[in-house]
Amino acid sequence: MSVDAATVRRIAHLARIAVADDEVEHLRGEINAILAFVEQLSEVNVDGVEPMISVTPMTMVQRADEVTDGGIADQIVRNAPAAQDHYFTVPKVIE
């Protein structure tokens, strides 16, 4: 895959990066080099290689997926300027 000057300008626009006209060709070469490297990665045979979480063997620690309220609603709203029934009370903003 090769990137042309128009695509470089579009990428710069989408990224909200100001690119001068004299920088377009340099960036085009840089992007093409990155894409060539990514294409090289697709040539690597990864059959039988399991996905890794880390370079060192480890097991992911998982906790039970349980919904809890924390039981500390009074402590959470203690410093609020105004609270009612464990909820923050705020001034009305819509009439």
Q: H/E element holding 83? A: strand 83-84
What span, in angstroms and rounded, lies between the C-alpha atoms of 2 and 39? 11
- How do the pLDDT tens digits run along the chain, 95 residues long? 789 999 999 999 999 999 999 999 999 999 999 999 999 988 999 898 888 878 888 787 888 888 877 788 888 888 899 988 888 999 888 87
84, β-bridge pairs: 87
What does the domain layout of the chain look like in residue ranges? 5-41
Q: Are 28 and 8 in contact (CB under 8 A)?
A: yes
Give the predicted TM-score (pTM) of the model.
0.50
